[in-house]
Structure 1
């Protein structure tokens, strides 16, 4: 059936979004770059996140865009290899112009994470999970 899943996100300015995500450590498949879209790669499995200019995104989604300042359409969660990586990413997000809405901290005794919004208000959750401390 399915070999891969891609996440598509609308953005106001593809170049600015690409610069933001580059600053916080993401890579891109330059073969899929156009003025109205870019292909971001996440993690070892190279999960694809396509960033599309809002009008192009609306044309193929055939739906009204969510106002990310007033509501959330999705929470994108990514893993971290350590608590230090969570802290470093939070710092990079601030330096790149993003909004850390959930400061780095422990949760439920076995997770450590933070939440941030990118330049377009899409919300991301970064977690380090220590499964040895997870309640049975």
Structure 2
């Protein structure tokens, strides 16, 4: 039976990545090893694990080529926010830490408010507040 799920991402510099996600308020995962080649974070109330590995270590996990993310994305990592204000706060902190904001906070479909940023290594993050009381069933 599956116990947990982790997201593993390649990065150029573990220290810069650590500083960046600390600035966003993410908690370092104290249950995982931290080194020059790896840092692990727990994100959200359910402690979703995101592991960041240097490119060299990440390449050792797979025979596939690591995607070039400059003008592309391989996935969209979404973060649930508790309010519209929190969406904007996270985007502001991300920008201050060096992220590129690819979508400023805005309304979508009358029940979602969100925006997005690209982290230091090109991974795309989406920050959303979803007000299900405004969701219209079809």
Q: TM-score, normalised by structure 1?
A: 0.97
- Indicate the residue corresponding to 2:16 in structure 1: 16
Distance 1:86 1:46 in 2: 19
What is the count of residue pairs matched by the alignment? 136
Distance (whole Å) between structure 2 residues aligned to residue 70 and residue 115 of structure 1: 15
Correspondence list, 1:101-116, <5 A: 101-116=102-117
- The runs of at least 4 consecutive aligned structure 1 residues that moved more than 3 Å come to none
Q: What does the per-residue CA deviation read over 1:53-99, in whole Å, with 9 as the maximum and x for residues that have no partner?
A: 01110111221110010321110011000000001011101100001
Partner of 2:51: 50
Structure 2, unaligned stretches of length 5 or more?
none
CA distance in 2, matches of 1:25, 1:32: 19
CA distance in 1, matches of 2:60, 2:71: 22
After alignment, is 31-40 or 101-110 more displaced? Answer: 31-40
TM-score w.r.t. length of structure 2:
0.96
